[in-house]
Structure 1
Amino acid sequence: MAQHLDTGRRGELLAKNHLLSQGYEILDENWTHGKAEIDLIAYKDSVIIFTEVKTRTGTGFGEPEDFVDNRKQKLLVDAADEYIYLMNHQGEVRFDIISVLIKGDHYTLKHIEDAFWPQG
């Protein structure tokens, strides 16, 4: 398997474990709709949290969270709209980014709550 896929999966596992340790319930992982994939869909305090996980092994091209551009945000929002519709969720939603920087056996995880707002 390609190393970048291993890195991404490791980052997603670290992110999932972080959310679980903070009292979040994981509703779905790698949920897809059209061309969009939502890495983790969590639930806490009656809020559905759509979480994009970005994992990198270096910052030469920017921080991991810098790679969630406007195009990616729109795909996430479109997929989230479908998920909300399917689940008939009437409450609040939030879009988070979990940034994971892996250096060998060590990692840094940054959980950015309310990372972006859906743009109309």
Structure 2
Amino acid sequence: MESRKLIGDQDKQQAVAYLEALGFQILAVNWRYKRFEVDIIALEQQVLVFVEVKVRKNEDYGMEHTLISQQKQKRLSQAAEAYIFEKKHQGQIRFDIIAIINHKLNYIKDAFWNY
């Protein structure tokens, strides 16, 4: 039986491949700053995109749009602020979700607003 981490890494790689196929430039995977982490950071043209990858075996714990709590959104926003400051990015940003539920990938663009 595969470990949860290995399965999660495979799912993130699936998400990365999906974004690359859409023309995104992947800048970082599992980017960390202090206690914050962003699953994928990418550029879509000139827009800096922070992507949270959520994997579920089924929809028992909610649909895609309910997978990111307000608290998690706030942490992602704080991580984004740190990344933007570190890289001196000036321009648009966006928060997206890739939900993989029962092996089906669903991409949600503009999933939530920055705090």
Task: Please give the TM-score of this superposition, normalised by the length of structure 2.
Answer: 0.92
Rounded Cα–Cα distance in structure 2 between residues aligned with 1:70 and 1:50: 16
Rounded Cα–Cα distance in structure 2 between residues aligned with 1:112 and 1:81: 21
1:59-114 residue CA offsets vs partner (Å, 9 max, x unmatched): 12223552210111111000100100111111100000000113xxxx21111011
- Conserved? CA contact 1:55–1:64, under 8 Å: no
Q: What secondary structure sits across from 2:13 in the alignment? A: helix
Rounded Cα–Cα distance in structure 2 between residues aligned with 1:94 and 1:15: 17
Q: What secondary structure sits across from 2:19 in the alignment? A: helix
Percent of aligned pairs with the same amino acid: 37
Between the two proteins, the alignment pairs up a number of residues equal to 115
Rounded Cα–Cα distance in structure 2 between residues aligned with 1:43 and 1:110: 19
2:10 maps to 1:10: yes
Rounded Cα–Cα distance in structure 2 between residues aligned with 1:5 and 1:94: 27
RMSD: 1.6
Match of 2:105 in 1: 109
Q: What stretches of structure 1 of length at least 5 have no aligned partner? A: none
Q: What stretches of structure 2 of length at least 5 have no aligned partner? A: none
Q: What secondary structure sits across from 2:59 in the alignment? A: coil
**Distance change >3 Å, CA 57–CA 3, structure 1 → 2:** farther
Q: What secondary structure sits across from 1:16 in the alignment? A: helix
* Superposed counterparts of 1:1-120, under 5 Å: 3-102=3-102, 107-119=103-115
Task: Please give the TM-score of this superposition, normalised by the length of structure 1.
Answer: 0.88
